[in-house]
Amino acid sequence: MTTKLLTIIEKDGKAAKDKDPNLSDAELRRVYRTMVQTRIMDERALTLQRQGAIGFYLQALGQEASHIGSALPMQDSDWFFPAYRQPGIMLLRGADLDDIVNEWFGNDGDTSKGRQMPVHYSLRSINFVSISSPIGTQLSQAAGAAMAAKIRGDDTVFMTYCGDGGTSSNDFHAGLNFAAVYQAPCVFIVENNQWAISVPSTNQTKSESMAAKAQAYGMPGVRVDGNDILAVYRVCKEAVDRARKGGGPTLVETVTYRMGSHSSSDDADRYRDAKEHESWKQRDPIERFRKYLEKKGIWNEEFQSEIEESFKQDLNDAIKRAKARPKPAAATLFDDVYLQPTQQLIEQRDELLGLEGPESDEIGEFPL
Let me know if 168 is exposed, middle or buried by CB neighbors in 10 A (0-12, 13-18, 19+).
middle
Q: CA 90 to CA 180: how far, in whole Å?
A: 28
Q: CA 331 to CA 349: how far, in whole Å?
A: 7
- Backbone dihedral angles phi then psi of residue 291, each to the nearest 5 degrees: -60, -40
Cβ distance 283 to 227 under 8 Å? yes
Cβ distance 237 to 172 under 8 Å? no
Angle between helix 285-295 and helix 64-71 axes, rounded to 10 deg: 60
Pairing of strands 250-255, 221-225: parallel
Question: What are the C-alpha distances in Å from 306 to residues 168, 210, 245, 296, 312?
Answer: 43, 39, 40, 19, 10
Q: CA 163 to CA 189: how far, in whole Å?
A: 8
- Residue of 128, 126, 155 lying closest to 141 (CA atoms): 128
Pairing of strands 158-163, 186-192: parallel
DSSP tag of 93: T
Question: What are the C-alpha distances in Å from 349 to residues 150, 340, 346?
Answer: 41, 14, 5
Q: How far is CA 304 from the centre of its chain?
A: 24
Report, as residue numbers or ranges, the catalytic residues: 258, 262, 271
Cα-Cα-Cα-Cα dihedral sign, residues 71, 75, 77, 78: negative
Cβ distance 115 to 108 under 8 Å? no
